[in-house]
Amino acid sequence: MKSRTSVRRWGFTLVELMIVIAIIGILAAIAYPPYTEYVLRSRRSDAHTVLMEAAQYMQRYYAAKNTFKDAALPADYATAPKGASDNNKHYSISLDAATTSADEYAFKLIATPRLADAACGNLSLDHKGVKGESGTKEVADCWR
């Protein structure tokens, strides 16, 4: 009769596997919120870049025509990141028609997020370089 003590078992017990899964779950729960905030900040950065470039375009338009009336943004400035397809865009950039039609010496650019961003909402930039947001965070936090 063979002794059972000489049999060596390979593998992990269910308890060991559950401990590893619990540790991975805890680490994921800690890491996920900062990761999502990082992704939102990087997408906002894309919107900042396109808003600034669009504002420069508008200033060049003003230098050529001496008015912002009848101005329109080229298609290059319609999305952030710049030139992205509809599936890959994070923000839609638009020229606030009410501002340009009411005052021919003013414009306001608005970046609307494709996905909900309650913290910053819509980002805006006007002819004076004044930055704005429509969310719950401060302007300085959304524009850094």
Does 1 score more than 60 pLDDT? Answer: no
Q: Tens of pLDDT along 70-123?
A: 888 988 888 888 878 878 899 999 998 777 777 778 899 999 999 888 889 999
Domains and their CATH numbers in the chain: 13-142 (3.30.700.10)
Q: Tens of pLDDT along 26-42?
A: 999 999 989 988 989 99
Question: Other CB atoms closer than 10 Å to residue 61's CB: what's the count?
Answer: 17
Q: What is the mean pLDDT of the chain?
A: 88
Does 17 score more than 90 pLDDT? Answer: yes
7 pLDDT band, cuts 50/70/90, is low
Does 9 score more than 90 pLDDT? Answer: no
Q: What is the pLDDT of residue 132?
A: 94
Per-residue b/e over 79-102, b at no fewer than 16 CB within 10 Å?
bbeeebeeeebbbbbbbeeebbee
Closest C-alpha among 46, 42, 47 to residue 93: 47
Does 46 score more than 70 pLDDT? Answer: yes
pTM of the full predicted structure? 0.77
The H or E element that residue 53 is part of is helix 14-65
Q: How far apart are CA 68 and CA 70, in angstroms?
A: 6
Rounded mean pLDDT of 41-49?
Answer: 93
Q: What is the pLDDT of residue 92?
A: 92
SS (H, E, C) 76-101: HHCEECCCCCCCCCCEEEEECHHHHH
